[in-house]
Structure formats: structure tokens, C-alpha cells
Amino acid sequence: MSDILTSVEGKVLRLRLNRPKAIHALNSGMCVAILDALTAAERDAGVEAVVIDHAEGRGFCAGGDIRMLAESGAGDGVDARAFFHLEYQMNHRLFTFAKPTVVFMDGITMGGGVGIAGPCRYRVATENTRLAMPETGIGLFPDVGGGWYLSRLPGRMGAFLALTGHRLDGAECVALGLATHYLESARLDEAKARIAAEPQHVAAILDAVASPPPAAKVLDYRETIDRLFAGDSVEGIIAALEADGGDWAAAQLAILRTKSPQSMKVSLRLVEEGAHMATFEDEMRQEYAVASHVVQRHDFIEGVRALIVDKDNAPKWNPASVESVSDHLIDQIFAPLPDGEAWTPAQEA
């Protein structure tokens, strides 16, 4: 059985992620299959829209093939860079795709799952949606366009989500603009069937079957987040949390204490610079350079060991403290790659 189920229903190309035991985590073959299907759909006048969802299982997409990336990063990094290059081409193709794209984020939507969902024109959340970019916990950073999406959230929400890896529910995704519609999961099949029948009316169909989302709990902390995550450095944010004295600040501080200091600094810079990127292509080019450097550094290999392989949840970060992560180190991680090694978009159809 293929890891991507591809079919044409009426005038709709349907792409279904199909690795249920891995919560549909992406591998290179899945990225190739999606890219190829999008290329064919772009050329096919009979395809008017694209619908992306998942087959059986409890989530839309839990991320990428992290074990492979860490194993490659511990060696020459060639396979890891090849995966990132391909995945980012898929992200970019979705971002620039001319026909309407609809994604159903029913369940876990993290890392690489956000990379698929974020570029889609219509992004449907449900009561089951749990969206996050939790990469600082494994020594990585919110890639696949995270610098672009998070930097465009209101106030300091992007910095908060990038550093803490906080999980958003479906209502919160809608409130922050990460989702365009909120549907009860019981109505998903109806929505997909109606879109297949009338793909030229995607927006009207989703509007008709959508439900008013519950209150977005994260907005209760909007002013607090804007105040405590206002610093332009991780040190400044930690100092603000320490000085606050409240329970919520203490909880966030405890979360940040578990994260890779290097990754937090990389992630904050990514969000700051993402706001000024002229195009999504520019964002992908920068994230690929950063990923190419980070994937071979100690913290990513150690983070995967501690949280995914050995599961002792006791990573030994190096540098061990935020203060020990120099600006020079971060500059090295953000250094552009030579022209022959830099990321490039997939060829257009």
C-alpha cells in the first residue's frame, strides 16, 4: 500500500497521507508523490481543486522522518539535506499552486504536517486538531515555513509558539488565522463529498458546513504573551518570565528550561527575520541553509536520542545554557549556502 493515496474524484485531486502507524509522518517518497501529483494536476484542466487529508489513524501528520534525519546528521548529513530540499520544494509548490487547495487538519498536525497545511488556501480545523511546532524540544527549529507563518501571527504569539512548542486546538487555530474554517469532525465526509461534486464552490461549501468555534483559550493570555515574550532575545524573554512571579509565567519558564538553548535562539531569530522575507521562496532558501547546519549539530542528534530513541527525556544540551549560545554561533547557523548547495524550487509544470 502506498504512503500517499492519490485519486481523482470528479474534478478534485485527492491526496491522502497513509502511514497510520507513524501518524502519517513524511518521508522522501511521500514528498515526491505529492510533488508529482501536484505537477500533473496543474497541467490537467479537468482538475479544479486539490483536497489533502489522511487515511485511518489519529492524526493528520505528526511531522517528518526524524530518526532518519538524526542518523544522517550524525554522519555526512547527505540524506537529511536531500529530504529537507525535497520537503521544502513540496511546501513551496503548495504555496504557489494556482488552483484551490483544501487541507483537513483533523487530529495531530505538527512539524511537517504544518508544512503541508500552512500553504493551502483553505485550512480546516476540527475539535480533534492539535497543531504545534515543537521542534525546540528536539534541538531543531520550526521549519517548513514556520518562520513565515509564525512571524505573521498577531503580537508576540509567533515567538511564544516557536519557543514553547505550545499545542493549539482547532478553535485557537481559527482565532489566529492558522485555520480558515472550523468543522465538527462528523461533517468532514459531507464537506469532502460536496467539494468533489462542486469544486468551483469550495469557499461557499466550507462556509455552509462550518460551525462557530468554541472560545479560543490562548487569547485569554494574549496581553500576557505580548508583554512577557516582547524581548528581542531569549535571555530577555526568560528574564521577563522570571520577574513576573505569576503561575502562568512560571509554567512557561519551566517549559523553556527543557528546550535546547541553541534551538530557542535559532527559532527566535527565524521568526524575527521571517517577518521581513519578501517571498516564501526566500524563506525556504534561508530555512534550508539553517536546517543543513542544525541537522549535523550536537543538539539535534542528542534531542532525538533523548526524546524519540531512548525516551529518557533527559537531553544534555551543548551549549548547556542560553547565555553560552554566542551570537557568532547563530550567525554561523544562518550563513547562506554556496550557490551550488543552496535550496532551489522544483521546476514548474
Closest CA relative to residue 161, chosen from 171, 149, 177: 149
Among residues 57, 59, 107, 112, the one annotated as catalytic is: 112
- What tens digit of pLDDT does each residue of 156-212 get? 999 999 999 999 999 999 999 999 999 999 999 999 999 999 999 999 999 999 999
Active site annotation includes 184: no
- What tens digit of pLDDT does each residue of 33-46 get? 999 999 999 999 99
Active site annotation includes 65: no
Active site annotation includes 112: yes
Q: What share of the chain is helix, strand, coil (3-state, %, to 5)?
A: 55, 10, 35
| Three-state secondary structure call for residue 135 | helix
What structural domains does the chain harbor?
4-333 (3.90.226.10)
Enclosing H/E stretch for 174: helix 170-176
Spatial separation of the C-alpha atoms in residues 281 and 288, rounded to whole Å:
11
Q: How far is CA 312 from CA 188, 262, 273, 294, 309, in A?
A: 38, 20, 34, 22, 9
**What is the pairing mode between strands 49-54 and 101-105?**
parallel
Q: How far is CA 125 from CA 28, 64, 67, 92, 228, in A?
A: 26, 20, 28, 22, 28
Cα atoms in the 13 Å half-sphere on the side-chain side of 43: 7
Spatial separation of the C-alpha atoms in residues 180 and 198, rounded to whole Å:
19
Among residues 65, 87, 135, 299, the one annotated as catalytic is: 135
User: Residue 270: its pLDDT value, please?
Assistant: 98
User: Residue 349: its pLDDT value, please?
Assistant: 53
Q: Which three cell numbers stand for residue 276?
A: 521581513
| pLDDT by 10-residue block (mean), the chain, 349 residues | 93 96 95 97 96 92 92 95 98 97 98 97 98 97 98 98 98 98 97 96 98 97 98 97 97 98 98 98 98 97 95 96 98 96 87
Q: Which three cell numbers stand for residue 337?
A: 549556502
pTM of the model: 0.96
DSSP 8-state code for residue 323 = G
User: Residue 137: its pLDDT value, please?
Assistant: 97
333-345: string of b/e by CB count within 10 Å (b at 16+)? beeebeeeeebee
Among residues 64, 139, 146, 165, the one annotated as catalytic is: 64
Active site annotation includes 302: no
